[in-house]
Structure 1
């Protein structure tokens, strides 16, 4: 495995810590952590292909096979969903507004579902 897999697993441990110690709070941060777990899994995949990806835009382009190794449509769609959930949770300040907390709980679950798809794609590659 490579350093990005290690970082993804480290972030997963942090997510578990947040969820265990504050199950009803910090959902905006949980979504952000979930997104960055996915980022590291994708980075691991591309590092194995000798492809350096430096930013979110470039990663999306490479994932769509514009200039690199493609990922499955399911993986790309899940990653894009995580990207937008993360943007929404970080920049709309919904975590601070009580009326939006139920939506954030749903978004955390959606983010976890999307992460499973990204992680499965990458780990299936490494285990094949």
Structure 2
């Protein structure tokens, strides 16, 4: 084995704001500094995680440049497209005869696909705004 999966990473100009957006969208939380250690400086990457321990950790990394081309890799999520749009996502493409998912972009333009929740899976946690 040459490698083992660790985390996902997502670049953002306003990494603090985008970390809050993805926390609200996914039901994630910011990972806190270990007890007795000071919090990380605001300019450092923001690690977010699934408090239920079911999803991967995501690092929201500060970068100086805006996103300019299509993602080569993206997130697939189960969710409610209309609620995500109401939270500030942008619609790129609706599901149609060719695809069974909606393509959205987060507030910084990072594309992600939204699938209708599987009726046989664990219920989706309702989205909340911060």
TM range (shorter): under 0.3
Give the structure with higher Rg (CA). Answer: 2
Higher fraction of strand: 2
Q: How does the TM-score come out when normalised to structure 2?
A: 0.27
If asked which structure has higher relative contact order (CA below 8 Å, sep 6+), I would say 1
